[in-house]
Structure 1
Amino acid sequence: MDKGRYRSKFDLTGRVAVVTGGAGILGAHFISALADHGASLAVVDLDQSAVDVAAANLRERFGVRAMGVVADVADSASVANMADIVETELGPIDILHNNAATKGSSADAFFEPVESYNLETWREIMAVNLDGMFLVAQQIGSRMAARGKGSIIQTASIYAHLAPDQSIYEGSNYMGRSINTPPVYTASKAGVVGLTQYLATYWAEKGVRVNTLTPGGVESGQNDEFRRRYSGRVPMRRMADPDEMVSALVFLASDASSYVTGQNIVVDGGLSAW
């Protein structure tokens, strides 16, 4: 009987997944999607209370094993300790969603224009958005390669591929403050795409697949003016709902994508097709 043959390819029962940035706005949706498909979850972020609450929520809602782990992805010792804890408590890691990113310690500094952008802020963002991606992939991917299997998904951004249209920020704000997309964000996310392609070819013969998930603009607290301006640039004429990102993640994490590596799945409502 073929019934269920194809549906079962998306089943993650028995798999152990690590999601960095798992307590964030999109992270909450990502961890829920993986848990809903049966995976055991390690929710990784900087705040112990936040990751513990997120893990408890997964256990209650989906009946899966879940734990919260605090780690600084920009610190190699912290990353190694995180991986050790997860594999001791949950078992060998099968899925890594390399998702952590930061705006740094100062929102004002993060949103500075190009002409006055501070090098220390640049390095602070890069330490998480790109260095952290490498450190986590290096630590967990090496373990996957030694075992001969694994799937790594790395979150980039539509602005890894396109320059932001500066006009959409006129009169726009996020959580009550004026915003833009700074150069360090674009540069760091473009680096993620390049890192994915390198690691995908490097570990391909070891059975480790590495792909990029690229979200377009997601509704998460922007004001009406921003949503109007951004949506006007998108063929589907709207921003994404957070849940619209998760199916691509499940596909890349699961056996449904067993012959997919080094690819970039763009979920942007057609913005990059213009």
Structure 2
Amino acid sequence: MTQPVFTSDLTGKVALVTGGAGILGRRFCKGLAAAGATVAVVDLYADAADAAARDIGDGAKGFVCDVAEPDSVTSCVAAVEDHFGRIDILLNNAATKTGDLEALFKPFEEYSLSTWREVMSVNIDGMFLMAQAVGRVMLKQGTGGSIVQTSSIYGLVGPDNRIYEGSHYLGGPINTPAVYSASKSAVIGLTRWLATYWGEQNIRVNALVPGGVASGQNEIFASKYSSRVPLGRMAEADEMVGPMLFLASAASSYVTGHVLSADGGWTAW
């Protein structure tokens, strides 16, 4: 075995990021590019993916994909491989709030199966489809790879519903629906399964678990949430980039099947 180099330098690597034009996705793409990777920005909307890629520069390119649709995933991954010649890193990050926030935040007793299935189709079916398609590419390359899948603290623990009293997001009342917790828990299960399945091929699979990120919640929510965090505040989106780079890079060369919480200590209580 050659002596490993413990570095987050990603020079020469190609990274595919789903949900690449989102709140975290844009930061992840920029962080990967800053570490030397060439980035495929994958998003549901072509204009958003192209804009994010232009913002990054450095050879980044936007690709459109509906991760819930098998044909779309197959076409997208093939296009990325064709354009860049390889895929070394998958940041399996896409998730959905659906197009109907009122339906998303309905009480559990009134929750629609169609909304449940819509969320699951992206948050876990999309993870499966993208990991499957990119995994095939990594196996063909024969040089290993790194897959980082975005979960949530609510994939590990149940929500404290007291923080949602009087809380709003983008002007409307919010909660953490059961479908979100269930889908994010499934991400962790899939991560551990893939880590054991592909370990001998040196394809590492880990989960990043962000805590609450400030992104349009009202002050009541921010205050109540922060009171439950040992560090006493919500996260900034940029604070998720360092943990992601650790998992994506050779800095974590002997880490697989791991669930890394970047939550300000939320799950320590």
Query: Which blocks of at least 5 consecutive residues in structure 1 are unaligned?
Result: none
Provide the aligned C-alpha RMSD in A.
Answer: 1.3
Report the counterpart of residue 22 of structure 2 in structure 1.
Answer: 24
1:152 aligns with 2:147: yes
Report the counterpart of residue 119 of structure 2 in structure 1.
Answer: 125
Report Cα offsets for 1:119-167 as digits up to 9, x if no partner.
0110010000000000000000122123231100000000001110111
Contact (CA 8 Å) 1:12, 1:37: kept in 2 or not? yes
Letter in 2 for 1:90: F
Letter in 2 for 1:268: D
Letter in 1 for 2:200: E
Displacement after TM superposition at 1:27 (Å): 0.7
Query: Which blocks of at least 5 consecutive residues in structure 2 are unaligned?
Result: none
Alignment map for 1:202-241 (pairs within 5 Å): 202-241=197-236
Of the candidates 252, 258, 262, which is equivalent to residue 257 of structure 2? 262
Report Cα offsets for 1:148-198 as digits up to 9, x if no partner.
311000000000011101110011101111100000000000000000000
Alignment map for 1:34-183 (pairs within 5 Å): 34-59=32-57, 64-148=58-142, 149-183=144-178
Letter in 1 for 2:133: Q
Letter in 2 for 1:129: N
Residue 15 of structure 2 aligns to a residue whose secondary structure is: strand
Residue 72 of structure 1 aligns to a residue whose secondary structure is: coil
Displacement after TM superposition at 1:6 (Å): 9.3
Contact (CA 8 Å) 2:5, 2:250: kept in 1 or not? no
Report the counterpart of residue 268 of structure 2 in structure 1.
Answer: 273
Measured in 2, the distance between the counterparts of 1:248 and 1:179 equals 27
Residue 26 of structure 1 aligns to a residue whose secondary structure is: helix
Measured in 1, the distance between the counterparts of 2:118 and 2:215 equals 24
After superposition, the Cα gap between the structure-2 partners of 1:134 and 1:239, relative to the gap in structure 1 and judged at 3 Å, is same
Displacement after TM superposition at 1:260 (Å): 0.4
Letter in 1 for 2:137: R
Measured in 2, the distance between the counterparts of 1:6 and 1:87 equals 26
Displacement after TM superposition at 1:272 (Å): 0.3
Moved over 3 A (4+): 5-8
Displacement after TM superposition at 1:46 (Å): 1.0
Measured in 1, the distance between the counterparts of 2:261 and 2:135 equals 23
Residue 124 of structure 2 aligns to a residue whose secondary structure is: helix
Residue 154 of structure 1 aligns to a residue whose secondary structure is: strand
Residue 209 of structure 2 aligns to a residue whose secondary structure is: strand
TM norm structure 2: 0.97
Contact (CA 8 Å) 1:145, 1:207: kept in 2 or not? no
Displacement after TM superposition at 1:104 (Å): 1.5
Counting aligned pairs with the same residue, the percent is 56
After superposition, the Cα gap between the structure-2 partners of 1:67 and 1:154, relative to the gap in structure 1 and judged at 3 Å, is same
| Count of aligned positions | 266
After superposition, the Cα gap between the structure-2 partners of 1:176 and 1:270, relative to the gap in structure 1 and judged at 3 Å, is same
Question: Which stretch shifts more, 220-229 or 141-150?
Answer: 141-150
Contact (CA 8 Å) 2:6, 2:252: kept in 1 or not? no
Report the counterpart of residue 184 of structure 1 in structure 2.
Answer: 179
Residue 14 of structure 1 aligns to a residue whose secondary structure is: coil
